[in-house]
């Protein structure tokens, strides 16, 4: 009979990482070390040390991990179309991962920013976010630590497997005990002693017989102990045989136990867990599968059905990204929730910054807010039909908001309202289609002409100017690895939503993108064509433009070779006009890069070569280096305590060439101290102007306090007279991770 119990060694708790099992076999104690982390039985030891406690120690109510960062940034000259000098900005940010009762994970973020720049508002943001993806990840982590006996953690199987392996090793040793060279040598020696004793006995008997003194077969004169050694050898053999039989019976019993537990909560159920949590069914179907698996409370906490159905929940600064024709990528200061068991429900409300938080066009803003409700049926990621109602206030941007004499056409009532019906269909595993149709209220100037209310204009079925349609398709061809994304949308001249910035003209937009791999994913080609996808929210243009933008990108990745990438795609630049308006200019850019991370004589190195060319004219943009070519070569060497970096640059345009060279080095003096510095040289032809700059940094890690980093840089940016002007920047950063 075998008895296995935890044992810490000399009656003491092991301080490090493992404990032992003491196995009593046939009244003999065998101490077998099993490599199992002490945390596996931490609850057991807590239970033993605290009399009267019948369960493991309760987890703390809150467990918080994250980081805090303070950043002070200074810049003497801004390298943008907006001129500003001597600007600074303070930013305090913290991002926390919070787990309530070790069962309910969520994320908390806080940011506050202030400075003296007129281009950026001082702001304070807070966000609390919960997603079922984080909850599913936590369930998988708990399942990985699930024992099938008392602690309900997976490590029980590991410890049981360790006992089985130890017994298998003991059985193997006993099975080959009599074939061990030392045992064979001992047996040979015993046999030799037996033969030697018998030979002496035979000689003695012969002498006695010749002398007439033979008294019988038991008259032995030479007893050298060989027979007693052989008897003990046979006894040990029988004992080992009995022990072997006992160990084999115990091993069979343990193996059956392991197989039963493994089927019950081991590998099979683990695969079921993976399949359930990553399945394509609804969240209700997922919860039903988990319930039928009879999982312990340590894996499935209370309320898991509802939490699995919560796709997302956010308070504070959140992103609302629901559909193409209602609210897409909108930053809201408020609350949003998505709930999707077998049906679908979503709600969002809050103040809308509407992408103006960091732009100069925040002047004369109208207070904007969003209220939105979505109800439907089906799985949001699979087949579904969803009805959306949205309302709120949003400022308009078009010709029709004012007239030439600056007298408003009608009171500027920026309230909007609309309905949308969206459907998503998964056509097999590799293709899906999303279609949506929407109807909104008319803009205030159009409502004034017809005398309609906000809701009344939505219900005008004979008017199609406030309607919109959208269809998107995504497909993968497994045989060739081709990915296809296509979309088409049409928006009437009076259609309004929080996904559309402007009104006043009928808009049609479409795009097609194809990703095609070649040579076993080594070469990836991406091509795209689109029309009216770059909506201009500032410049008063004809929105039904016939311009079709094309882009093409190729990336080649081969082992032990540089990564090559070439792209040809549209670019844009926003420029503030003299009359207070903003203009958006569009042009094409050619970009090519080659990057390589490699070893040379056991030294790690990195090399990057980049080429950029703008295909535009001076009339197209206010960019100083119009139709320019830029070349960059950067090389970095990683030594034990040093990081050495150097680069060469060349900017070429129709007026002059700008050459630059710089080098820097970082030295890690201690594990807690890193310093660095460098020099840079710029030479501008035609003007024959040379500039020398510098850079410096220092990073200090203070135990239990955090990390302090200081950076200072003297560089040069383009000035209005096409000559370089000095630009000093500095940054102080404090970071604490806990």
Cα–chain-centroid distance for residue 200? 85
In sequence order, what DSSP letters do the residues of 417-472 get, joined into one string? EEEEEEEEEE-SSSEEEEEEEEEEPPPHHHHHHHT--HHHHHT-TT--TTEEEEEE
pLDDT digits (tens, 9 = 90+) for 398-444: 545 544 445 445 567 888 999 999 999 998 889 999 999 999 998 88
172-173-178 Cα angle (round to 5): 110
pLDDT digits (tens, 9 = 90+) for 461-490: 888 889 999 999 999 999 999 999 999 999
- Say if CB 519 and CB 537 are below 8 A apart: no
The answer to whether the CB of 391 falls within 8 A of the CB of 415 is: yes
Model pLDDT, residue 477: 92
Q: For 219-233, 437-451, 496-510, which range has the lowest pLDDT when averaged over its residues?
A: 219-233
Residue for token pair 């850019």: 589
Residues in Cβ contact with 618 at an 8 Å cutoff, skipping those fewer than 6 apart? 626, 627
Cα dihedral 184/185/191/192 (nearest 10): 160
Closest C-alpha to 503, from 611, 399, 601, 607: 399
Q: Is 40:148 a contact under the CB 8 Å cutoff?
A: no
- The order of strands in the sheet holding 2-7 is 2-7, 19-25, 28-34
User: Residue 735: what pLDDT?
Assistant: 95
Q: Is 429 exposed, middle or buried (0-12, 13-18, 19+ CB in 10 A)?
A: exposed
- The pLDDT of residue 653 is 80
Looking at mean pLDDT, say which of 53-67, 407-421, 447-461, 567-581 comes out highest. Answer: 447-461
Q: Assess contact for 465 and 504: CB atoms under 8 A.
A: no
Rounded Cα–Cα distance for residues 438 and 382 (Å): 21
Q: For position 128, what pLDDT does the model report? A: 93
CA pair distance 152, 230, nearest whole angstrom: 52
Contact by Cβ (8 Å): 154, 141: no
- Average pLDDT of the chain is 76
The count of other CB atoms within 10 Å of the CB of residue 418 is 25
Q: What pLDDT, on a 0 to 100 scale, did the predictor assign at position 403? A: 45
Q: Which two tokens stand for residue 541?
A: 């243009």
Between helix 267-277 and helix 132-144 the angle, nearest 10°, is 180
pLDDT tens for each residue of 92-149: 999 999 988 878 899 999 999 999 887 777 888 899 999 888 887 887 776 665 544 3
Distance from C-alpha of 2 to C-alpha of 21, rounded to nearest angstrom = 12
Dihedrals φ, ψ of 595, to 5°?
-130, 140
Q: How far apart are CA 226 and CA 217, in angstroms?
A: 18
Is the pTM above the cut of 0.75? no
Among 47-51, 376-380, 601-605, the least confident range: 47-51
Asked whether 708 and 699 are in contact (CB, 8 A), the reply is: yes
**Is residue 575 helix, strand or coil?**
strand
* Phi then psi dihedrals of residue 533, to 5 deg: -80, -25
Residue in 648, 643, 566, 657 with CA at minimum distance from that of residue 612: 566
pLDDT at position 155 over 80: no
Mapping DSSP to helix (H, G, I), strand (E, B) and coil, where does residue 50 land?
A: coil
Question: Cα separation of 206 and 219, whole Å?
Answer: 12
Structure tokens at 502: 């402007």
Per the CB < 8 A criterion, the answer to whether 595 and 562 are in contact is yes
Tell whether the torsion through CA atoms of 329, 334, 338 and 344 is positive or negative.
negative
Q: Which two tokens stand for residue 63?
A: 């467990």
Residue 77, strand partner residues? 85
Q: Are 475 and 436 in contact (CB under 8 A)?
A: no
- The token pair at 602 is 């056991």
CA 373/CA 349 separation, integer angstroms:
9
Q: Which residue has the higher pLDDT, 306 or 47?
A: 306
Share of the chain above pLDDT 70, in %: 64
Instruction: Give the end-to-end CA distance of the chain in Å, rounded to a whole number.
Output: 50
On whether the CB atoms of residues 468 and 497 are closer than 8 A, the answer is yes
Distance CA 23, CA 187 (A): 30
User: Which tens digit of pLDDT belongs to each residue from 552-561?
Assistant: 999 999 988 9
Query: CA-CA distance, 649 to 661, in Å (whole number)?
Result: 6
Whether 716 and 727 have beta carbons less than 8 Å apart is answered as yes
| % of the chain exceeding 90 in pLDDT | 33
Which token pair is 677?
A: 């510095």
């Amino acid at each position: 009979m075998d008895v296995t119990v935890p044992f810490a060694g000399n009656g003491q708790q092991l301080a490090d990482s493992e404990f032992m099992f003491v196995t009593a076999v046939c009244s003999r104690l065998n101490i077998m070390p099993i490599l199992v982390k002490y945390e596996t039985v931490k609850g057991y030891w807590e239970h033993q040390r605290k009399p009267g406690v019948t369960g493991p120690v309760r987890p703390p109510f809150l467990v918080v991990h994250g980081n805090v960062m303070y950043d002070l940034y200074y810049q003497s000259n801004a390298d943008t179309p907006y001129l500003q000098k001597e600007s600074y900005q303070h930013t305090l940010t913290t991002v926390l991962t919070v787990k309530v009762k070790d069962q309910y994970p969520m994320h908390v973020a806080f940011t506050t920013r202030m400075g003296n720049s007129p281009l950026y508002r001082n702001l304070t943001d807070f966000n609390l976010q919960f997603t079922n993806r984080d909850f599913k990840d936590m369930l998988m982590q708990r399942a990985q630590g699930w024992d099938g006996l008392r602690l309900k953690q997976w490590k029980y199987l590991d410890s049981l497997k360790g006992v089985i392996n130890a017994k298998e090793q003991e059985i193997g040793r006993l099975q080959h005990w009599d074939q061990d060279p030392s045992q064979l040598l001992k047996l040979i020696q015993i046999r030799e002693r037996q033969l030697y004793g018998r030979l002496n006995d035979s000689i003695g008997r012969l002498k006695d017989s010749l002398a007439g003194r033979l008294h019988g077969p038991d008259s032995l004169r030479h007893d050298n102990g060989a027979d007693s050694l052989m008897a003990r050898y046979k006894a040990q053999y029988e004992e080992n045989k009995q022990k072997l039989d006992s160990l084999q019976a115990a091993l069979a019993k343990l193996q059956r136990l392991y197989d039963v537990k493994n089927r019950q909560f081991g590998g099979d159920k683990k695969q079921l867990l993976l399949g359930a949590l990553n399945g394509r069914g609804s969240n209700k179907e997922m919860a039903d599968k988990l319930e039928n698996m009879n999982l312990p409370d340590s894996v499935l906490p209370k309320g898991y059905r509802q939490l699995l159905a919560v796709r997302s929940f956010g308070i504070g600064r959140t992103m609302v990204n629901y559909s193409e024709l209602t609210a897409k990528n909108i930053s809201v200061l408020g609350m949003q929730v998505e709930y999707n068991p077998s049906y679908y429900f979503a709600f969002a409300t809050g103040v809308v910054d509407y992408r103006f938080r960091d732009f100069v066009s925040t002047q004369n803003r109208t207070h904007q807010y969003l209220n939105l409700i979505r109800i439907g049926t089906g799985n949001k990621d699979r087949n579904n039909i969803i009805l959306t109602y949205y309302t709120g206030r949003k400022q308009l941007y078009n010709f029709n908001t004012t007239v030439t004499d600056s007298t408003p056409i009608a009171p500027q009532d920026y309230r909007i309202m609309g309905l949308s019906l969206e459907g998503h269909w998964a056509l097999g595993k590799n293709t899906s289609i999303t279609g949506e149709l929407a109807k909104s209220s008319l803009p205030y100037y159009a409502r004034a002409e017809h005398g309609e209310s906000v809701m009344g204009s939505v219900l005008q079925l004979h008017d199609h100017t406030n309607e919109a349609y959208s269809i998107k398709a995504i497909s993968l061809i497994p045989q060739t690895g081709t990915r296809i994304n296509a979309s088409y949308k049409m928006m009437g001249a009076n259609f309004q939503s929080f996904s559309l910035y402007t009104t006043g003209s009928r808009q049609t937009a479409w795009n097609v993108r194809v990703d095609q791999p070649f040579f076993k994913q080594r070469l990836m080609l991406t091509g795209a064509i689109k029309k009216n996808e770059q909506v201009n929210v500032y410049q008063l243009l004809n929105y039904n433009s016939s311009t079709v933008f094309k882009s093409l990108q190729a990336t080649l990745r081969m082992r032990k070779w540089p990564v090559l990438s070439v792209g040809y795609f549209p670019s844009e630049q926003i420029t503030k006009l003299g009359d207070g308006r903003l203009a958006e200019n569009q042009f094409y850019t050619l970009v090519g890069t080659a990057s390589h991370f490699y070893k040379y004589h056991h030294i790690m190195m990195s090399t990057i070569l980049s080429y950029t060319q703008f295909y535009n004219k001076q009339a197209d943009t206010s960019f100083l280096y119009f139709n320019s070519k830029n070349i960059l070569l950067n090389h970095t060497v990683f030594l034990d305590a040093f990081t050495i970096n150097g680069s060469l640059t060349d900017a070429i345009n129709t007026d002059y060439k700008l050459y630059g060279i710089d080098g820097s080095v970082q030295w890690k003096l201690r594990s807690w101290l890193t310093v660095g510095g460098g020099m840079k040289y710029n030479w501008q032809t035609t003007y024959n102007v040379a500039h020398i700059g510098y850079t410096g940094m220092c990073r200090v890690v203070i135990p239990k306090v955090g990390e302090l980093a200081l950076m200072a840089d003297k560089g040069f940016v383009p000035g209005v007279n096409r000559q370089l002007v000095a630009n000093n920047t500095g940054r102080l950063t404090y970071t604490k991770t806990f």
